[in-house]
Structure 1
Amino acid sequence: MHNFVLAAVPTPEESREVARKAIHILKQYIADEDLLHDIDLVLTEGCSNVARHAYETDAPCNRLELAVTVVPGEHVIFEISDWGKGICAKTIDFTMPAPEAVGGRGMFIMSELMDSFELIQEDGKNTIKLTRRIKEEQWQRKE
């Protein structure tokens, strides 16, 4: 098992950079470019949501954290965390919004491209935990 933690002040630019760094790490383990693209989309959306929604005001003390756990030959786990206002699990809408909707596609995208989606709120920390099983032929290396 391999663990990585990336952190940033959650601005739009920094949230995108955190997702890019995670993909750079994953390229050491995952060979399938289509899968890496899907994961990049999910991480960009999740990190971007922290930048847009987690904190009431912009401040240098705001924090975005992305933990990546790679279990070679099995799966990857992503934990996108913030210490902001959090979201209510009961209000998450996992359906695709109408075509004319300006936003609201993020949770749908994340839930569709990952195998599991879990919301954890603990001691002021809000985490979206996403797991994706990786097929044997999609691995670059399995150690």
Structure 2
Amino acid sequence: MHNYVLEAIPTPEESREIARKAVHILKGFITDDDLLHDIDLVLTEGCSNVARHAYSTHAPCNRLELKITIIPDKSVSFEISDWGKGLCSELIDFSMPSPEAVGGRGMFIMSKLMDSFEITQINGKNTIKLTRNIKEEQWLRKE
């Protein structure tokens, strides 16, 4: 098992950068470019949601944390966390919004591209937990 923790101040630029860094790490383990693209999309969406919605004001003390767990021959998991206002998981609509909607596609996209999707709120820490099972032929290395 391989574990990584990336942190950033949640701005739009930094949220995109943290997703790029995560994909760069994954390139050392996964060969499938389409899969890496899907993961990049999911992480960019999840991290940018923190930048847009978690904190009422932008401040240097705000945090975005991305934990990556790679279990070779099995899966990759991500935990995108913040200590902002959080969101009520019962109110999240995971269906595709109408074509006229300006936003609201992120949770739908993340839930469809990952094998598991869970939202937790523990002691002021808000986390979206995402897991993607990886097929044997998609692994670059298996150690």
Question: Is 1:114 aligned with 2:120?
Answer: no
Cα deviation, residue 117, structure 1: 0.3
Question: Is 1:138 aligned with 2:129?
Answer: no
SS in structure 2 of the partner of residue 66 of structure 1: strand
The 5-angstrom pairing of residues 54-93 of structure 1 reads 54-93=54-93
Q: Name the amino acid aligned to 1:21.
A: K
Task: Give the root-mean-square deviation of aligned CA atoms.
Answer: 0.3
Q: Which runs of 5+ in 2 are unaligned?
A: none
Q: Name the amino acid aligned to 1:26.
A: L
Task: Provide the aligned length of Structure 1 versus Structure 2.
Answer: 143
TM-score with structure 2 length normalisation? 0.99
SS in structure 2 of the partner of residue 60 of structure 1: coil
Q: Name the amino acid aligned to 1:135.
A: K
**Poorly superposed stretches of 4+, deviation over 2 Å:** none
> Paired residue for 2:32?
32
Cα deviation, residue 100, structure 1: 1.1
> Paired residue for 2:43?
43
Partners of 1:92 and 1:2 in 2: how far apart? 31
Identity, % of aligned pairs? 78
TM-score with structure 1 length normalisation? 0.99
Q: Which runs of 5+ in 1 are unaligned?
A: none
